[in-house]
Amino acid sequence: MDNFSSVFCTPIGMDSNKVTVLIVDDEPDICFLLGNMLKQKSFIPVIANSLTEGLDKLKKHMPALLFLDIHLPDGSGLDILGRIKKDFPTLKIIMMSAYDGASEKSRAIEEGADIFISKPLSRDLITESLEKVLNK
């Protein structure tokens, strides 16, 4: 859904003090909520709705933080997490899922996620997660 990208994305280089955050999720409501919150907090949100699009935007925008959903139309965020962390070792990663089983949580952390959060998301959960990850 590139219309979300055009609504939330500030062109790179317009404000060098802002931090770019990539959101990879196929749910428009999640992208809308995260995008708006990040923008209000002076981040530059970039939206991708699939793993393929997310990997392309990861390379193009070089974000400092990644919100990555597990269940996406073209695969599992968990399956690509190790590769992302290997290729971008300083990238902070917040994994998200509506399915918050213990095995998914532990695998996400083992593969390199900084935090695992469960959907549905709330403003408080997002704010708390941002503070934890960015203060690590």
86-118 residue pLDDT tens: 999 999 999 999 887 889 999 999 999 999 999
Mind listing the domains of the chain with CATH numbers? 2-134 (3.40.50.2300)
pTM of the model: 0.86
Number of residues that make up the chain: 136
Structure-token pair, residue 8? 């939330």
83 Rama sector, left if φ>0, alpha if ψ -120 to 50, beta otherwise: alpha
Question: Do 61 and 20 contact (CB within 8 A), yes or no?
Answer: yes
Nearest to 1 by CA among 60, 62, 47: 47
Q: How far apart are the first and last CA of the chain?
A: 32
The DSSP 8-state label assigned to residue 112 in this structure reads T
47-60 residue pLDDT tens: 999 999 999 999 99
